[in-house]
Structure 1
Amino acid sequence: MSRFLFVVPPLVGHVNPAVGVAAELARRGHTVAWAGVPGLITHLAGPDSEIHPCATPPRTPERPPDLRGPGALKFLWQDFLIPLAEAMAPGVALACRQFRPDVVVADQQALAGALVAERLGLPWATSATTSAELTGALDDLPLVAAWVRDLLTGLRGRIGAPPTATDPRFSPYLVLAFTTPDLTGPVTAGSGPVHFVGPSIAPRPTTPAFPWQWLDRDRATVLVTLGTANADTGAAFLTVCRQALRARAAGLQAVIVDPAGVLADQPPDPDLLSLPAVPQLDLLPHTAAVVCHAGHNTVCEALWHGVPLVVAPIRDDQPVIAHQVAEAGAGVRIRFGRTDPTRLGQAVDTVLGDPAHRAAARWIGDSFRAAGGAAAAAVRLEALATGRHLPDTGTPAVAPPGPARFTVPTAERKEPR
């Protein structure tokens, strides 16, 4: 049996996929440990998890809620990812010495995992919990791409091995992509040995309570969520959603995830349920559409259940994921900061009324299940730990032509006017 160390950033959407893979490895008899922030890992992976604590930066500047585009990218790298890697590196190194892993599984945004493993001569796999880095998101921005490479070169000099050609975002041994080409489309060359395993969908140790008796089986349920990291930006958008969906109460009901309580002063409404958190995996089978920020976890979990989306990307990788959803025909993209109740309502009407969107969502969900999820990821990691060579599963690096990617009329893919 082998030993696997998962190195994760303090981000729910990046820990959750790893939880399913770690559980599958443990079920197969392997020993698993974690390096990261103990409180978050305990909450998501369970109280019995072996956790090696890593520090976080002593002070991270607060990201302005309206920061978008290049400014948001600069903040992500310069003010978050690079300082996080430097803070985590000593804890990751200590974890490697104490736990003695056969393989380090490093999240793509936990750069310390890759660089420390490389420095110590340990094989490491990339956990690509978002597909944005796999599709050449910066190909049209060569100066930005060069700036990121320079940041990584400087980081390697401080916490990694002597200069090499390896990009710490892409393991030369194994890149686990928790998606499929049916959603991502073509993957760029130079991303390492990418294996599409589909989303890691697994039961979570803790789930919020939900009033299941509230659901009306005779009406469509629309879930609205902006994920766990966007509470500071969502007040206006959630208000717009409430107005648009309230106007359609004759045919649907809405569940709005409101962790910051921005809708708390609204009067009770029998057709709209606002909660600080919901058991998303349990709720999605009862959902007809999802309105979200195009976070990778939320998108993949919705599509796993064949649920079409209205995506309103805010920042970071979300515009890339939103583009993938629209291009695959599984939803409609709208502008987060320029959406009024009319536009949002039209988008919801489109995904609920046009069967092509649901058909595309179901097609992608089928591809996710066929890819194998956590079990497929565990098989690849076992092979890396034992030095075995596995043949490719046949999952193409480019989405096949024909029905695999649905063609939706352009007017329906763009923002409703």
Structure 2
Amino acid sequence: MAKLIVENGGPLYGEVQISGAKNAVLPLMAATLLTEEKCVIDGVPDLADVKVMKGMLENFGATVVDDGNGLLEITASQIRTVNGDRKLVTEMRASTVAMGPLLARCGKVVMPLPGGCAIGKRPIDLHLKGFRALGATVIEDDENEQVIVTAGPKGLVGDAIYLDFPSVGATENILMASTMAAGTTIIENAAKEPEIVDLANQLNKMGAKIKGAGTDTIRVTGVERMGGSIHSVIPDRIETGTFMLAAAITRGEILVKNALPGHVRPIIAKLKECGVEVETVDDGIYVNARDKELIATNIKTLPYPGFPTDIQSPFMAFLTTVKGKSEVKETVFENRFMHVNELNRMGADITIENRIAYIPGGKTLHGAKVRATDLRAGAAMVLAGLAAEGKTEVSEIYHIERGYEKFVEKFTGLGALLTRVDED
């Protein structure tokens, strides 16, 4: 097990390059199962979750060639099995995005129940609802903790599907499954995240006929077969937000390069409300919190284009350090306040009631031994440690390494006192 040692080295300064988006690349990789032709994906971040997805694809029969510089060549000329590898699936919830392409291409998929961060139930019932609407039979095998999905005798057939919640994973899975379904599929109340648009762009390059991605209604006209593609991953908007907050919490000045301002509008708006200077420039986003009188604000997480739940915990760490009382309401995941106990170990004095966190603000944080309770909470603990007095030890950092490429190197490049230490 490894841990991070964090110390307050003062304000962070400099430039940081944002990597390809974790939440985009995983479904992009899964989509390559739709075709026997080679697919090329560029800008792939070097992450633990990407390694898991590579293993998943290889288990199904795909060949994955990694050039070591963010370029993957994936060829699934033959599907060897439609059974997901239990060990890999339980490591990462996003494994479920392989279900849609396998169902479309092979007519069947057997998937163990997924794992990942323990931030909420995140059931796959909406995924299964979509598959059923396309004419598939779904057997929930509770005894073996898996689901078995089988297309009808004539394959998948397009239909109108209304999602009770704009689930990103369900939208992605139904989108991929419907690419080769007979007729037209309409997904209503679809997720609108940039990662959905990125996936649709790749699928269209592969021969799909998709319109409306990025809106709440997506229309898919089925095609007989899918082909290869060359595609570049969009920048990671959550990593973008994390480094914007690194400037804010340390009262520093950072140019966040390769960032798309349109993907992080709520984060920009809330930082400006707090008194942070944020400017859109040609090569990214400039964030300046030097000598600013920063104040409190309230946040409510919502599906895109609302304030992202994935940036809630890093933003909360920042809010502990500004003047005034803040409130953070979490509406997306019911267990996404596990980091509050860890921040309170550092002197934050946050209270929770009815999925609202009340933050008194203006606190001087102090170093402590804390845990990365999930991926984004781990980043929040590091941010808090950069602003705290004394030394902070962050354990269970495998969560962080699931979703941030070159995490330590990027922070130390900005002047952070951050060290990764391997423990026996």
TM-score by length of 2: 0.28
- Where is the strand percentage greater, Structure 1 or Structure 2? 2
Using CA pairs under 8 Å that are at least 6 residues apart, name the structure with larger relative contact order, 1 or 2: 2
TM-score by length of 1: 0.28
